[in-house]
Structure 1
Amino acid sequence: MTQRQVQLRLGLGAVVAALFLTLYAIPSWVSSPSNVGNIVLSPLFWPYTLAGFTGLAGLGLVFSGIRLPAADKPVNSPVDDPGAAWLRLLGMAIIMALTMYLLPRLGMVLTSMLVFLASAFLVRTRHPITAVVCALVIPLVLYAFFAHVAGVAIPQGEFLRLP
């Protein structure tokens, strides 16, 4: 399978998933009261937002796949060391177990920072500086939004209390 085929199939799959969520799953399975004052607090807002972003990402993959050359080298070439894949799988299982252990102790924000960093370096990201910046900024921005704008309590840890 070539890079073009992978991008086209992933993009079409994401578009189909977004259409399924938007047209059937969210209206059928997510209930919402009609008198929600703030649209951001509506139970329908975030599912529709995620479905929309999924559709946009899918369309982006489709358009970038169309622009790739048709004759390309295959993507799924055999790996040199299959044992390394099993070690990464074990590493991810350890990260998940540590996440469950650290959540009540460090809180959701600090734990998500550490988990993001550990996962990025486990898969050997080609952009380590971007991974570090995203690991620090994204949890803090999400905390600020949910705690201060939406008024949702975010679990805090024993060692660090955010304002």
Structure 2
Amino acid sequence: MSHRALQLRLGIGAILAAAFLVIHAIPNWVSSPSNVRNIVLSPLFWPYILGGLTGLVGLGLVVAGWRAAPEAGPVNEAIDDAGAGVVRLVVFAAMMAVTFWALPYLGMVWVSMLAFVALAFLVRTRHPATAVVCAVIVPLILYAFFAHVASVAIPQGELVRLP
């Protein structure tokens, strides 16, 4: 499959997924009390934001696919060693088990940082420095928002606590 075809298919899929979310899934499956004063704290707000962003990303992929020049060859080369994929899958399952085990001891913020870094290096990211920075900054920003702005309790660990 060419790069252009891949972009178009992914974009159309994202647009269809966003349409399904916004038109059917969120209104029918996400319940929200009528007395929520702050719109950001409503259970409907963030699903609609994610649905809208998914549609925008899909639209961007479709536009990028239309603008791309058609290519003759495939996007990726064939994988010689299929066993490496199975090993990565087993390691990923072990990482999930360790993450589940470590949550009560270290807390959600620290465990999510470690899990993100481990996953980034498991899939051999091309941007390891960016992955490490994002692994630290994103959980801290989410913690700061939910704990200090939205007043939602984030699970803290027995060994490490955040302010």
Output the CA distance in 1 between the equivalents of 2:53 and 2:18: 8
Residue 94 (structure 1) shift? 1.1
Does 1:134 find its partner at 2:122? Answer: no
Task: After TM superposition, list the pairs within 5 Å mapping 1:93-112 onto structure 2.
Answer: 93-112=93-112
Moved more, 116-125 or 79-88: 79-88
The equivalent of 1:49 in structure 2 is: 49
- Any idea what SS the aligned residue of 1:17 has? helix
Match of 1:91 in 2: 91
Q: CA deviation at 1:81?
A: 1.5
Range with bigger deviation, 20-29 or 136-145? 20-29
Distance in 1, Cα, partners of 2:88 & 2:31: 39
- What are the ranges of 5 or more consecutive residues in structure 2 without an aligned counterpart? none
Deviations 1:110-157 (A, max 9, x none): 000000000000000000110000000000000000001111100001
1:1-163 aligned at under 5 Å gives the runs 1-163=1-163
Structure 1 residue ranges without an equivalent (≥5): none
Aligned-partner residue type, residue 20 of structure 1: F
- Provide the C-alpha distance between the structure 2 equivalents of 1:27 and 1:37, rounded to a whole number of angstroms: 19
| Alignment check: 8 A CA contact 1:4 1:72 kept | no
Count of aligned residue pairs for this structure pair: 163
- Name whichever of 64-73 and 6-15 sits farther off: 64-73
**What secondary structure sits across from 1:154 in the alignment?**
coil
8 Å CA contact 1:18–1:52 kept in 2: the answer is yes
TM-score w.r.t. the length of structure 2 is 0.96
The CA distance in 2 between the partners of 1:28 and 1:20, in whole Å, is 11
Counterpart Cα distance in 2 of 1:33 and 1:154: 22
Provide the alpha-carbon RMSD of the alignment.
Answer: 1.1
User: What's the CA shift for 1:56?
Assistant: 1.3
Work out the CA distance in 1 between the residues paired with 2:69 and 2:50: 30
